[in-house]
Amino acid sequence: MRVLGLDPGLRITGWGMIEMIDNRLRYLGDGTIRSDDKLSLAERLGQLHRGVLQVIAAWSPDAAGVEQTFVNKNPESTLKLGQARGVVLLAPALAGLEVGEYAPTQVKQAVVGTGRAAKEQVGMMVRTLLPGCLVTSADAADALAVAICHAHHAATARRLKAGT
């Protein structure tokens, strides 16, 4: 099963692609999708949407995981992040992929073992769990962590279903 992890952001959306074979994870790729802050919000959202669709077309994932947003102190920033997240959720859904949503604490718990792990710990564990992983940016590392989290949750769901 190929899993696309997405870490939504209006300026930068991270993506990471892994493959799960039995209980083993394999790194396939990662990167970022950037929007041009000189453009209107609608144009920037269009850039993000097209970028996610390009990643999906290039890698043919079977499922996607998306990190949930946290609330900022600035309501305008929170609203814009929510709009970016909506576009990022929409692209894999329109492509017919199963999409899981995960809180940052769930992602950290799945990758590091504690929901309060620092960003550096998450990046280190992503590189440990995915040998050969290049991790081009912190946003891509977060996206790979989301993909790992989704892979774990999907495997557990399959085992539970097989047991019933």
Q: Is 139 annotated as a binding residue?
A: yes
Distance CA 164, CA 71 (A): 38
Distance CA 51, CA 34 (A): 8
- Looking at residues 35-63, what average pLDDT do you find? 98
Task: Please report how many Cα atoms fall inside a 13 Å half-sphere around the Cα of residue 69, on the Cβ side.
Answer: 21
Global confidence as pTM: 0.93
The 98-102 sheet, strands edge to edge:
24-34, 12-21, 2-7, 63-67, 98-102
Distance CA 145, CA 6 (A): 9
Reference 135, options 120, 156, 115; nearest CA is 120
pLDDT tens string 65-93 = 999 987 678 888 889 999 999 999 999 99
Tell me the domain boundaries of the chain: 2-163
User: What CATH number does the domain located at 2-163 have?
Assistant: 3.30.420.10
Distance CA 133, CA 128 (A): 8
Q: Is 19 annotated as a binding residue?
A: no
Q: Is 67 annotated as a binding residue?
A: yes
Task: Give catalytic residue positions.
Answer: 7, 67, 139
Label residue 157 by pLDDT band (50, 70, 90): low
% pLDDT > 70, the chain: 96
Reference 63, options 163, 153, 126, 164; nearest CA is 153
Asked whether residue 131 carries a pLDDT value surpassing 70, the answer given is yes
* Helix ranges, 36-137 (H): 41-59, 75-94, 104-111, 119-129
- Which amino acid would we find at residue 145? A
Q: Is 132 left (phi over 0), alpha (psi -120 to 50) or beta?
A: left
